[in-house]
Amino acid sequence: MTRPVRTPAGIRPALAVALVLTLAAGASAAWAGRDWYAAAHDDSAAYAVQRDEALAAGEQAVQNLNTLDHKRVEQGLDLWESSTTGALHEQLVEGRKEFTGQVRAARTVTTARVLSGAVTELDDRAGRARLLVALRITVTTPDSKSTDKDSRMLGELTRTDGHWKLSALGQAPVGGTAVG
């Protein structure tokens, strides 16, 4: 009833419409903002991102540690050291000299390809993860003969300074753990 009386003002319906539109915009802004906040602060999403980061870093590190060219041993071993941390890192540093000699004598080129990889455990607070990496290693001897070998790698990752690095790496034992 009061609506028609307002028309004389001319601007009133426009004002009313504008008010309704503003309220609608405000409501949708609130909804979208909340939605965005929820999406940005989703714990499981952050966990998923950590999982994928750990996997990517882990696969790369495992590949790095199985790649070595006798002509570029120093570079290769530098990469090994930068991909690792903790006990594994220390082990590599300690055995570096001896290993360099062995590779130079054998004159082999080793390359690796990650076939598949997956994280089995992830503690994103402690910064620890375990992963499985299926690897195909190709060793080329000085007489250009190359052999492929599949490797079932088990790795442990530790996050240091925001980066995931390998702190342990080994092959899944065959036979020993079969029973049980």
Q: Where do contacts with another protein occur on this chain (CB under 8 A)?
A: 1-2, 4-12, 14-15, 18-19, 21-22, 25-26, 28-29, 31-33, 35-36, 38-40, 42, 44-45, 47-49, 51-52, 115-120, 122, 131-132, 134, 136, 150, 152, 154, 172-175, 177-179
Distance, CA of 151 to CA of 25 (rounded, Å): 58
Minimum distance, C-beta of residue 122 to another protein, in the bound complex (Å): 6
Pick the closer one to another protein by CB: 21 or 106: 21
Pick the closer one to another protein by CB: 106 or 172: 172
Distance, CA of 37 to CA of 48 (rounded, Å): 17
> Which pair of tokens denotes residue 173?
């034992």
> Which pair of tokens denotes residue 30?
């609130």
Distance, CA of 75 to CA of 161 (rounded, Å): 23
Minimum distance, C-beta of residue 120 to another protein, in the bound complex (Å): 4
Minimum distance, C-beta of residue 1 to another protein, in the bound complex (Å): 6
* Nearest alpha carbon to residue 165 among 31, 22, 57: 57
Q: Are strands 68-69 and 146-160 parallel, antiparallel or unpaired?
A: unpaired
Pick the closer one to another protein by CB: 52 or 78: 52
Type of residue numbered 16: A
Pick the closer one to another protein by CB: 106 or 115: 115
Pick the closer one to another protein by CB: 105 or 176: 176
Minimum distance, C-beta of residue 176 to another protein, in the bound complex (Å): 9
- Dihedral (CA of 48, 49, 50, 53) sign: positive
Minimum distance, C-beta of residue 62 to another protein, in the bound complex (Å): 13
> Which pair of tokens denotes residue 39?
């999406």
